[in-house]
Chains A and B, each alone.
Chain A
Amino acid sequence: MSVISLVALALLVMVAGGFYMGRTRAIKQVAGRSSELHSLPNYYGYYVALWTGFPALLLLAAYGLFGAASTHSWTVAELRAQAHEMSAQFEGDLAANSEYVQLESTLESLELTVNGLREELARLRRANDADRDPHLIQLRLEEQRSSRALLALAGTSIEDYRTGVATGMLVTARETGVAASIRAGFFLTHSDIVRAELFMSDARKIARGETPSELLPELEIVASRLTDHQNTLRNSVGLLVLALAAIALLWTRSQIQPQFRARNNVERLTTVLLIAASILSIITTIGIVLSMLFESMRFFSIIPIQDFLFGLHWSPQIAIREDQLGQSGAFGAIPLFAGTAMITLIAMLVAVPIGLFSAIYLSEYAAPKFRTIAKPVLEVLAGVPTVVFGFFALLTVGPAIRALFTSLGFESAVTQSALSAGLVMGVMIIPFISSLSDDVINAVPQSLRDGSYAMGATRSETVVHVVIPAALPGIFGAVLLAISRAIGETMIVVMAAGQGANLTANPLESVTTITVQIVALLTGDLEFEGPKTLSAFALGLTLFAVTLLMNVIALRVVQKYREKYD
């Protein structure tokens, strides 16, 4: 059994023991006359048990979450530190290398040019109408583009040069018998993220006793370091947990006296825990907002916000590498907004009528028996994961639509079209709309219906002229929530809508959406920090802002509506 399981078990025993000890001690102190205690004996037990278990448990949970990560970074940091000399030598070699110095100075001058151009452009753009010189701006833009491409090229060659020299040094190091740990540290310092990740994952595999993709002495030494550190960390955390629990146990036990207000203490503690739990949701929101905002700001410091919001051209793939200031690649998000809007519109055209009519039929017409059958069907539809809808869209609906429209003479119809994504998304949203509207319609007071029937209205007249107008705010809220859901829906569009950022009004073409691009930008190769990755956060922020706005309005409206008829 692993150390951690043992510790957890021991903790459990201590908590149970703490409860028992607290209880018996309290009873013993009043010689069994429980009525002389301030609180019921159990509360003394709870008091000791809570303090024994909770802090220790938190520590254990933190270890569970961050243990592996800390072992990893500890090992990497240590290895890098060991390779410090070798790295210094590497930098020294490079500094002495005239070819490399040449490259670096080129890069610097290019950076200067690009920065200068950017400042100049900013100045030109800020200029007033009269002074504004569109021609010059155009000229500078082109210059900027070409110098950015050069800069990217220079960056690449510097990277390549460094990798080349580093690899050479590693080879000689192996031949001259430099320690494997130093070589590993050097490798981890100077290789790119992807290869370092692969290296470390192989090392972890060895540490776990599995077969890695290759066997190197470097890997083995890293693996043994990993194991060592893991054991050290695990044992010390285990000890700390037990120590914490034991100290808390003894301390709280010693507090127990007949007059000790155990119940009040326990209750205060529970309340604090409850409050802490509720604050977590606030922290989540703050986390979302801050992280998006922070990363987006970094993005907007590279790409001006107006270029992002109003640009007509989206092709982030051209953006070349990390750590470069100059970037080509277009980040105009209008095609994404348009694609999202089109798919959402199609989805709503499907979902609103079908969902609304289902809700009306179920609540106004259907016999109870029918309702008990039809409702679960809609519930099942609501529970279907979106990846399933995506699969359905691409393999069933897409080809069917393409076949239909090609036979009608639309040669341009494709399988991954806005139409198929929109239709399937509409299907996904039907149960959402129908259950929300069902709630809303059921909240319309019966007296209104009675009033209408008593006037001699038929059912449909009652629904159309009385029930729907009465439920309108609620239905509006439901539709708004559904729109926000459609905008944020990811898998269906990722699978069925395609990647091409076409700015088109033709639903038979493929379009792309905000969510598709977020996924594409973040699931590709691990390329952090570049505007390409950062743009995902800018898109995320936009998505969050738009859906938040809709949700707030929708929830307000629905709330007001509920209050009216409560």
Chain B
Amino acid sequence: MATATAPATDTHHDAHDPHATNTGISNNKLAMWLFLSTECLLFGALISTYLIYKTRGSGEVLPTDLFDIPFTSVSSFVLLMSSLTMVLALSAFGRNDLDRGKAWLLVTAMLGAVFMGGQAYEFTAFYEEGLGYTTNPAASAFYTLTGFHGAHVSIGIIMLMSLWVAANQGKLTGKNSETVEIVGLYWHFVDLVWIFIFTVIYLIPPE
């Protein structure tokens, strides 16, 4: 452990303390948090772009004309609950309860997939109503923002499934539950972004 009192010759002490860093946080976890904080500026730019353009339709249909709040509420709810199952997976791995951990991972990935299905449905429905990607600035901004979020969810699903496979191969056990925690951080962050998008993009009605 890195303290000022460490004797000079013994750099090996406490090497088995998983938190032998200056901050007491593992490199991986700190890196993930830093990465997530930079993602705020990424999503912020996309959200701002949409807010600036949301009424710019040059006479064509706007995303706000097509929002189906009850439908989006359901898929938002699904994503929110996937955060619960994610944290339950972590908690199970923490107890070395591998079967439950694997099951919750799978459930989380499936809830994510349901959310993505919802997005696919929404995009198709909007497209059929005449809102293409190139229709107007509002449409481009809407699809880019939600598409980016969807891409993040998809990457999350891939990571969850990789964890699930690793757990089945016995490579992921209670001892390295921090990997689950780090993927979980990413997953919760993606949920967090959606909490924001749901309010700011969907629920606040046009004046």
- Are A and B co-members of a single complex? no
What residues make up the interface of B, taking CB atoms closer than 8 Å to A? Answer: none
What residues make up the interface of A, taking CB atoms closer than 8 Å to B? Answer: none
